[in-house]
Structure 1
């Protein structure tokens, strides 16, 4: 019988494998059997950890949200809120080749799950609610409290939009160009913020 630690490692392996498959092929195009094959684990074991595909979606979303939370926590150590926000844009720059091929792993999953409208649809709001709240705090720290939420929405729309367009056009240069524009926009807000 597997120990609790071994069981958790197996569950983690299945979740990470599923997250990769879902990123490359989409949630609806990934079956539990696909996960079992890719993870090299019997299908019965997948069903033991994830009796339904919805439970697997929840685990993938928890994985994605955990990655976001760790990144945000590490960026909170930066003294400048503009630099923190620029770090978010850097994620798209770093992942531009993968995002161009498969889309943003968070955005594409949320888009697909959001169409469900049920339990899966509710999962879709988790990462963006987290990012929106964090970005809003950063803009407020720049002295833009009255417009912080709107700036946060604009930033997230720009980031997701450039990922979608790069994926549709299969052109990573879209991300290069737009990330530079986003960083220039963030720099342009600082003088106004310090004048407030």
Structure 2
């Protein structure tokens, strides 16, 4: 059950749905499972959300808000753009246990909604758009404006590939090695100003 201090009932429902959509998938998460997790009746549940699609919209918006807050924190706490990019790269290690068990929360939801042909897929992709825009801004600040979007997509592709293989093989050491390789690639790229390579290897 969600702790009583977790906020309003609506916020608790969104928090519970967010976790269940990640762990079980959107399609396999029922109203009953969310209500049971929060510890409320079905009637109370329907007072806040009339459909699962409505909950999905709230979950995606919550993810967007938390992503914006995280990126703002990195902008504030890190001394420069290179350090900020490294913070992004380290996500797959910081969230390693969940990623090994369930994959990337952004990628798995986007993929599931694509398979379902769900109209909310573009909203889910907006989280990737936030990361892409933010990473592009970091590379622009590093003086790499011409290639900034390619570099941003390269780093995004790394994070998704590492998350997928971490989930497939449950191999944390592999992920650590891949993160180290991407750090080395970033060092080389910044030191020599070389065109972006086809991979971080």
- Equivalent residue for 2:49? 50
Q: How far is 1:63 from its partner? A: 1.4
Q: How far is 1:118 from its partner? A: 4.2
Do 1:93 and 1:175's aligned partners in 2 also have CA atoms closer than 8 Å? yes
> After the TM superposition, which residues 72-151 of structure 1 pair with which residues of structure 2 at under 5 Å, given as runs?
72-77=71-76, 78-151=78-151
Q: Distance in 1 between matches of 2:68 and 2:31?
A: 27
Paired residue secondary structure (1:178): helix
Cα distance change of structure 1 residues 118 and 22 upon mapping to structure 2, 3 Å threshold: closer
User: Which segments of 5 or more consecutive residues in structure 2 lack a partner in the other structure?
Assistant: 195-201
Q: Which moved more, 1:105-114 or 1:136-145?
A: 105-114
Q: How far is 1:135 from its partner? A: 0.5
Q: How far is 1:17 from its partner? A: 0.7
So what's the TM-score if we normalise by structure 2? Answer: 0.87
- Equivalent residue for 1:27? 26
CA-atom RMSD in angstroms: 1.8
Q: How far is 1:174 from its partner? A: 2.6
Q: How far is 1:111 from its partner? A: 1.7
- Equivalent residue for 1:154? 154
Q: Distance in 2 between matches of 1:65 and 1:175?
A: 25
Q: Distance in 2 between matches of 1:94 and 1:27?
A: 24
Q: Which moved more, 1:25-34 or 1:107-116?
A: 107-116
So what's the TM-score if we normalise by structure 1? Answer: 0.89
Q: Distance in 2 between matches of 1:114 and 1:128?
A: 14
Q: How far is 1:167 from its partner? A: 0.4
Q: Distance in 2 between matches of 1:100 and 1:130?
A: 23
User: Which segments of 5 or more consecutive residues in structure 1 lack a partner in the other structure?
Assistant: 1-5
Q: How many residue pairs align between the two structures?
A: 188
